[in-house]
């Protein structure tokens, strides 16, 4: 833990971004990009799994709307959507 405190002290993490040395800027950007890559690899499949039923219903609704736009707009809940029933 002391080693990390010493590194943070050397990097002067309390200062603004402009005060950081180029090496620490590159290190900070590389760590942030690696974390973002990992987070996307973990989060996107989980979100898609959770949204799969919603996406399926939206796909079916879009197909029905494409075939029968008047009938789809006669449904009370969907008739309130101006984007769906604009034409």
pLDDT in tens, 35-51: 999 999 999 988 888 89
Q: Is residue 39 part of a domain?
A: yes
Q: Is residue 84 part of a domain?
A: no
Q: Is residue 15 part of a domain?
A: yes
Q: How many helices (H) and strands (E) does the chain have?
A: 4, 0
pLDDT of residue 31: 94
Q: Is residue 10 part of a domain?
A: yes
Q: Is residue 87 part of a domain?
A: no
Integer-rounded Cα Rg, in Å, for the chain is 25
Rounded to two decimals, what is the model's pTM? 0.45
Q: Is residue 43 part of a domain?
A: yes
Average confidence score pLDDT of the chain: 81
Domain of residue 16, residue span: 2-79
User: Phi first, then psi: what are they for 31, rounded to 5°?
Assistant: -65, -40
Q: Is residue 85 part of a domain?
A: no
pLDDT of residue 53: 92
- What share of the chain has pLDDT > 70, as a percent? 80
Q: Is residue 29 part of a domain?
A: yes
Number of domains in the chain: 1
pLDDT in tens, 9-20: 776 665 677 777
CA distance 86 to 72: 12
């Amino acid at each position: 833990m002391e080693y990390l405190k010493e590194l943070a002290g050397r990097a002067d993490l309390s200062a603004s971004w402009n005060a950081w040395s180029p090496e620490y800027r590159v290190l900070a950007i590389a760590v942030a990009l690696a974390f973002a890559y990992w987070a996307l690899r973990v989060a996107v499949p989980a979100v898609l799994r959770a949204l799969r039923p919603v996406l399926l219903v939206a796909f079916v609704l879009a197909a029905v709307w494409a075939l029968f736009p008047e009938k789809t707009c006669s449904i009370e809940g969907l008739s309130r959507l101006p984007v769906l029933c604009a034409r």
